[in-house]
Amino acid sequence: MRAKQFFISTMKEAPADAEIVSQKLMLRAGMIKKLAAGIYDIMPMGLRSLRKIESIIREEMDRAGAIELLMPIVQPAELWQETGRWQKYGDELLRIKDRHDRDFVLQPTSEEVVTDIARQEIKSWRQLPVNFYQIQTKFRDERRPRFGVMRGRDFIMKDAYSFDRNAEDAGKSYDKMFEAYCRIFDRLGLMYRAVRADSGSIGGSRSQEFQVIADTGEDLIVFCPDSDYAANIELAEAPCLIEKREEPKEAMEKVPTPGKDKCELVVELLGKPLTDSVKSIVLAVEQYDEKGNPLPAKIVLLLLRGDHSLNEVKAGKLDALKPGFRFATDSEIMNTFGSKPGYLGPVGIPKNVTIVADTTVANMSDFIVGANEEGYHIRGVNWGRDLREPDVVADIRNVVVGDASPDGKGTLKMQRGIEVGHVFFLGDKYSSAMKATYLDENGKPQVLQMGCYGIGVSRLLGAAIEQGHDDKGIIWPDSIAPFTVVICAVGYDKSEEVQKVSNELYGRLKEAGIDVILDDRGLRPGVMFAEWELIGVPHRVTIGDRGLKNGEVEYTHRRDLKNETVPVADIADKLIGLINNR
């Protein structure tokens, strides 16, 4: 490509509403352009990188035996009603009506449609296993779209769906996809981690996320440096930190703690460690009578050690909090506990309040809780003696650095990540609901076992930038840079020698199959360098009359921006070697 024939449009400053670095850099580098909240034009520069990601994904999916098809973006509501997701999926599912007032959705994902295909097309065990995938626009009507392509409404996803005869085979399909994903992210040249994850609204019993490591990531990843263990904090199992509940040593005592509405403040006042305190979190579960009329919400009190934090995903899995919880309102709290938040506790509360204690809290003795009276706490509290035993004991906290790894092989560390891929073992969640069966060797109908596998294609652009950038702009890995090499021809419009050498190098690299752009615009070197540093092309060759006098050009890698003088005769081979042997 020659720059004059391409569309390059960079900006000095990102628009004011851009929040994170990848969004700012993609806008400034002319890779995307905002059309509406969470909806972006993919500009020519961005599309080049996107296509490279798609190609790598496609090659590895094909290699793993998956078969590409294309499912429509506009999908009939009937299929979504069959699985119940028409009702259950929140407002992110954009429901629309056509001219005949029929209901449709814009696909946020395609389990229903692919299962509809499978139940019609897969008749016999002889056709199994099969794995269908597509690379296709999705739409999720995010409440607060932001961060550019990282949390857009309109985005490109690769979604794959495997169908198998039984759970064992489905596990093999899952493993195959897991391996394909590792190859994909390896080839993309990104630092990533595969972590255990929660299945969320997709459902299913086994799932792993692929997280691109970046300090700015939304997700917290927990890992054990001494073993393979890695999990999203949502899922990471927290150990019980007290093996056995000790006998009470203190008497229960109500103490004044005016203005001390946080554990940290209370223990400071009392001269106790934070690990002696227990925090109370009040949740509510809506309830209805048999006619569907709302009743007062069920109140659930969650107890966590003062230095721990609530893990809402774990809590959401408790029967006591099903089908879904919210935080209790101030008036619900006042009505139930007789005090405002900050001074709440489990002592002397009504019997209809369910008490859920974290595993560690359940083994604590002589602990400190709120007195359910503003300005007061109680110390020396003990289970059984001072209050009834908890109704539920469960792991409801987030792990912290230093917790023991669940595999017993060390202690946990954390880093931040950006979720770019997710593999799920679905089992028969969709196939049962939609009656997708095949005939086995005995001619008997059996329910298909499924897995589903997603990669956020457009999101990967953002993740790669969050991982690779400096104050000058983007630093792409070779694999997904919009161009692998830029030839900065200084004075191209004036110097025949520069033209000749630049064109020759350009021809050599193209012949070698290298994706090169020749900047033939005749810009001043400073402007030209700044633009390509912003865009983040990894390899730069600068060709100008000054160097050519000595038969030399300059090579610069985007990562360190160190200039290296290279004889004209060697530059093509050097680049070919650098790029093809990485």
Among 14, 47, 191, 313, indicate the residue that binds a copy of itself (CB under 8 A): 47
Instruction: Find out whether 210 and 185 touch, Cβ atoms under 8 Å.
Output: yes
Could you list the beta-strand ranges (E) of 94-142: 95-97, 103-106, 130-139
Report if residue 67 touches a copy of itself, rule: CB under 8 A. Answer: yes
Among 21, 28, 40, 221, indicate the residue that binds a copy of itself (CB under 8 A): 40
Range in contact with a copy of itself (rule: CB under 8 A) among 136-144, 185-193, 495-503, 505-513: 136-144
Among 17, 84, 88, 98, indicate the residue that binds a copy of itself (CB under 8 A): 98
Q: What are phi and psi of 173, to 5 degrees?
A: -65, -40
Let me know how long the chain is. Answer: 582
CA nearest to 192, candidates 206, 177, 213: 213
Q: What are phi and psi of 85, to 5 degrees?
A: -75, -20
Residue count, binding to a copy of itself (CB under 8 A):
48
Report if residue 201 touches a copy of itself, rule: CB under 8 A. Answer: no
Tell me if the bond preceding 350 is cis, omega within 30° of 0.
no
Please, which residue, 120 or 293, has the CB nearer to a copy of itself?
Answer: 120
Report if residue 141 touches a copy of itself, rule: CB under 8 A. Answer: yes
Instruction: Find out whether 174 and 60 touch, Cβ atoms under 8 Å.
Output: no
Report if residue 74 touches a copy of itself, rule: CB under 8 A. Answer: yes
Nearest-10 crossing angle of helices 457-467, 21-28: 100
Instruction: Find out whether 164 and 448 touch, Cβ atoms under 8 Å.
Output: yes
Report if residue 6 touches a copy of itself, rule: CB under 8 A. Answer: yes
Smallest gap from residue 87 Cβ to a copy of itself (A): 16
Report if residue 17 touches a copy of itself, rule: CB under 8 A. Answer: no
Report if residue 106 touches a copy of itself, rule: CB under 8 A. Answer: yes
Instruction: Find out whether 223 and 259 touch, Cβ atoms under 8 Å.
Output: no
The CA distance from 471 to 563, in Å, is: 18
Q: How far from 213 is each of 123, 131, 216, CA to CA, in Å?
A: 43, 29, 9
* Structure tokens that stand for 189 in this block: 């040249």
Range in contact with a copy of itself (rule: CB under 8 A) among 32-40, 196-204, 333-341, 546-554: 32-40
The CA distance from 120 to 115, in Å, is: 9
Range in contact with a copy of itself (rule: CB under 8 A) among 98-106, 192-200, 320-328, 532-540: 98-106
CA nearest to 506, candidates 579, 577, 571: 571
Report if residue 99 touches a copy of itself, rule: CB under 8 A. Answer: yes
Site string for a copy of itself, 149-168 (x = CB under 8 A): ----xx--------------
The CA distance from 502 to 524, in Å, is: 16
Instruction: Find out whether 401 and 425 touch, Cβ atoms under 8 Å.
Output: no
Smallest gap from residue 44 Cβ to a copy of itself (A): 5
Please, which residue, 42 or 488, has the CB nearer to a copy of itself?
Answer: 42
Report if residue 89 touches a copy of itself, rule: CB under 8 A. Answer: no
Please, which residue, 160 or 475, has the CB nearer to a copy of itself?
Answer: 160
* Structure tokens that stand for 394 in this block: 């469960």
Report if residue 522 touches a copy of itself, rule: CB under 8 A. Answer: no
Report if residue 169 touches a copy of itself, rule: CB under 8 A. Answer: no
Q: Which residue has the tokens 């509809």?
A: 116
Smallest gap from residue 76 Cβ to a copy of itself (A): 4
What is the distance, to the nearest Å, from the Cα of residue 106 to the centroid of all Cα atoms in its chain?
21
Among 14, 73, 347, 568, indicate the residue that binds a copy of itself (CB under 8 A): 73
Please, which residue, 238 or 518, has the CB nearer to a copy of itself?
Answer: 518
Report if residue 143 touches a copy of itself, rule: CB under 8 A. Answer: yes
Q: How far from 559 is each of 233, 443, 533, CA to CA, in Å?
A: 32, 61, 10
Report if residue 493 touches a copy of itself, rule: CB under 8 A. Answer: no
Smallest gap from residue 485 Cβ to a copy of itself (A): 19
Smallest gap from residue 533 Cβ to a copy of itself (A): 21
What is the contact surface with a copy of itself in residues (CB under 8 A)? 5-7, 9, 33, 35-36, 39-44, 47, 50, 65, 67-76, 91-92, 94, 96-99, 104, 106, 113, 116-117, 120-121, 130, 132, 137, 139, 141, 143, 153-154
